[in-house]
Amino acid sequence: MISGSCHCGKVKWQAREVPSFATACSCTACRRYGALWAYGREGDVVTVSGPTATYTKERWVKFHFCPECACMVYWRSLQLHKDGVHQMGFNLRMSEPEDVAGVPIIRHDGLNSLDDLPPDGRCVADYWF
C-alpha cells in the first residue's frame, strides 16, 4: 500500500499498491499542475479523504486540491463507470519520493494528439531530482 497527502496533510489518498506506471500529461491543466498521475477506481484501488476545493474546465474530470495549501491531490471522472464507480487519477507527487521513485513514466500528449509518446526510460525519480 502507498499513500500521499497535500503539504498541510488535510487531504490524503491511499492506493492498494504501487502503480505500474504514472502519466506526465501535457494538456493545458496538467502541465500547469506538474502532476504525475496514477490511476484507479475510487474505493477499489484508491480512497481519498479530507475536504477539497474543486476546479473543472474539462468535460470529463474534476480536479481536487487542498483549500488550505493548494496542492493538487487528485482528479475524479465526471461520469460514473457503468458499475457506478468513478475513475480517478491520484498525484504521485504527493507521495514520499522513496515510495514511488522507480515507477515508470508514460508521457501523454494531451495537448495535441491525445497519444502516448515513445518511452524514454524515465521514472518518477527522474522528474524529481
Domain extent listing, the chain: 2-128
In the chain, which stretches have pLDDT less than 70? Answer: 129
| CB distance 20 to 31 below 8 Å | no
How many residues are there in the chain? 129
The x, y and z cell numbers of residue 52, run together, are 477539497
What confidence score (pLDDT) does residue 15 get? 97
How many beta carbons lie within 10 A of that of residue 113, not counting itself?
10
Q: Which CATH class is domain 2-128?
A: mainly beta
Question: Rounded to two decimals, what is the model's pTM?
Answer: 0.91
Cα gap 90→13, rounded to integer Å: 7
